[in-house]
Amino acid sequence: MKQNESNIKKNDSETYTEKGVEKIPTYELNCIRNVVAVMSGKGGVGKSTVTGLLAVSLQREGYKVGILDADITGPSIPKIFGVKKRPEDIGFGLMPAESSSGIRIMSLNLLLENEDDPVIWRGPLIANAIKQFWTDVVWGDLDYLLIDLPPGTSDEPLTVMQSLPINGLIIVSSPQDLVLMVVKKAIKMAEMMNIPVLGIVKNYSYLVCPKCGERIEVFGESRGAEVARQAGIPFLGSLPVDYKLAQLCDRGEIESYKSDEIKGISEWLKRTERR
């Protein structure tokens, strides 16, 4: 990432410590009220899609929203929003790209020569890139910054949770990995970082028959609410397997998708917001 280090000032008042872990300050002109991270126990469960849909839902309601794509080795946020423009280096920081509805987006994919170039980095380099997306990007005034975390409970999500002042965490799960053990691992990690878990979203939960409208629980009866109850966290809702959503994501048109389920989840998110 190109930058002029000497010009980047940090907002000292934002440096604080929680349970002995120092959070890094963001760029001084940024005013980010809520930082919500989206995580999953494993890859491919729809974490980026849920992050994107939540951002769209909040933006529709008039909030100023940004997405920090911290899934550095599998960054899919620019693709689902159809964003290709390279973030502009304005001397003292990088301006995030903007989606068609005005969601601010920062992702390593936008900085690569070719979007299909692989990122073959080791842990510390990845961690630094993520930190720079927080410290050196001119996000401006945001009601919500949603962070698409790398999948799993490895080093990279841990670094993000340790370093950034996250005020809530959403866990996305698929029916196959919706087991108490995986959810509990994520919750324990969040607890160790002193980050509240806002709840769990179950993706690929059911199918709606396009002919008769019947709801088919492809993976058996839903256990989402029960797992959430046992883990002691709110169950935020279930999303269907929807080919229209997959198509829109492939075409970079996620902003055209409407979902009552996601609207319900963003409503719930708003109740936990910092003003």
Ligand X SMILES: Nc1ncnc2c1ncn2[C@@H]1O[C@H](COP(=O)(O)OP(=O)(O)OP(=O)(O)O)[C@@H](O)[C@H]1O
Positions that interact with ligand X (CB under 6 A):
40, 43-49, 71, 74, 76, 151, 203-204, 239, 241-242, 245-246, 249
Residue number with CB closer to ligand X (43 or 91): 43
Residue number with CB closer to ligand X (15 or 256): 256
Could you tell me the smallest distance in angstroms from the CB atom of residue 189 to ligand X?
16
Nearest to 61 by CA among 201, 264, 274: 264
Could you tell me the smallest distance in angstroms from the CB atom of residue 74 to ligand X?
4
42 carries a ligand binding annotation: yes
Query: CA–CA separation, 93 vs 6, rounded Å?
Result: 11
Residue found by looking up tokens 């005020």 in the block? 167
41 carries a ligand binding annotation: yes
Could you tell me the smallest distance in angstroms from the CB atom of residue 105 to ligand X?
15
Could you tell me the smallest distance in angstroms from the CB atom of residue 108 to ligand X?
12
Query: CA–CA separation, 242 vs 206, rounded Å?
Result: 9
Residue number with CB closer to ligand X (59 or 173): 173
45 carries a ligand binding annotation: yes
123 carries a ligand binding annotation: no
46 carries a ligand binding annotation: yes
Residue number with CB closer to ligand X (142 or 262): 262
Nearest to 139 by CA among 34, 253, 271, 12: 34
DSSP label at 13?
A: G
Asked if residues 148 and 71 have their Cβ atoms less than 8 Å apart, the reply is: yes
Residue number with CB closer to ligand X (58 or 254): 254
47 carries a ligand binding annotation: yes
Residue 94 vs residues 45, 110, 138, 216, 244: alpha-carbon distances, Å: 30, 11, 6, 46, 34
Residue 213 parent element (H or E) = none
Residue 123 vs residues 38, 79, 161, 239, 261: alpha-carbon distances, Å: 19, 24, 15, 32, 35
Could you tell me the smallest distance in angstroms from the CB atom of residue 9 to ligand X?
33
**Can you say which residues are annotated as belonging to the binding site for ATP?**
41-48
Known binding residues are 41-48
